[in-house]
Structure formats: C-alpha cells, structure tokens
Amino acid sequence: MNKHKELITAGFNALAEGNSEPLMGLFDDSVQWRIIGDTKFSGLYKGMEEVTGRLLGPLSELLDGHLHIFVDNLISEGNYLVCQGRGESKTVAGGTYNNTYCWVYKWSGDKITAVTEYLDTEILRASFEN
C-alpha cells in the first residue's frame, strides 16, 4: 500500500472511533474542497477555515454522534488518490444519513491540497433539507 493510501486509511479508521484529528491533519490549510450538486452543502470551500466553519461544523450539528466512513476502494496514481466509500450516521432529527461517496484527493507531499467530493445529493437532501 502506498503512503497516501495508508494515511487516508488511518485517518478514516480514527474517524470511525470518533477521532477526527488524524484525518483533518492531512488537509493543507489552503485546501480547495468542492462538493458536487446544488444542495446546501454543495460548492467550493477555500481553506480549512471555510471547510470547518461552513461545511463540517454545520454538518456535525445535524448529526447525532459522528459519521462512520467505510472505505471500499482506494486507487492511486501520481499525486491523486481516489477513495470510494460509504457513510452511516444518525441525525439529531431522529433519521439516518447513509450515503455513498467518491472523493478525489490531490496531494502535495503529505498534505491534501484539493478534494472533489461526489455523493448522492438526493440522500443529502432527504436527510437534511426537509
């Protein structure tokens, strides 16, 4: 397994235990994180301050506990790593948020500088935009 695969795997394993630090530490402070679609979470987040303030913070307020991510497949080529995964969680409204994802990570050394996140936007809407 190459280094980027090992880092992402360790990050998601720690997240499953409720520790987001190893995963969040992989992102460069100026990361560009794009989420596809036209949901309330879709768009481009520039830098970790925006990622945490406009995406992760508001999302965590809607979840009862943390999001459990299961990695299904990792593909690495050059400075890119593609991760296919599934997430499972409960919402504070009493429902579930169980989605599938594909993240395309661009790396510079040991830091992620860009992410494009593909997910089922209808599940996102059904879970959080009612």
Q: What is the mean pLDDT of the chain?
A: 95
pLDDT in tens, 58-84: 999 999 988 889 999 999 999 999 999
Number of independent structural domains in the chain: 1
Say what the pLDDT of residue 122 is: 96
Residue 50 to residue 18: CA distance in whole angstroms: 22
At 99, which CATH number? 3.10.450.50
Say what the pLDDT of residue 33 is: 98
Helical segments of the chain, H only = 3-16, 21-24, 48-50, 57-62, 121-128
Whether pTM > 0.85 for this model: the answer is: yes
Domain that holds residue 95: 3-128
For residue 7 the two structure tokens come to 């880092």
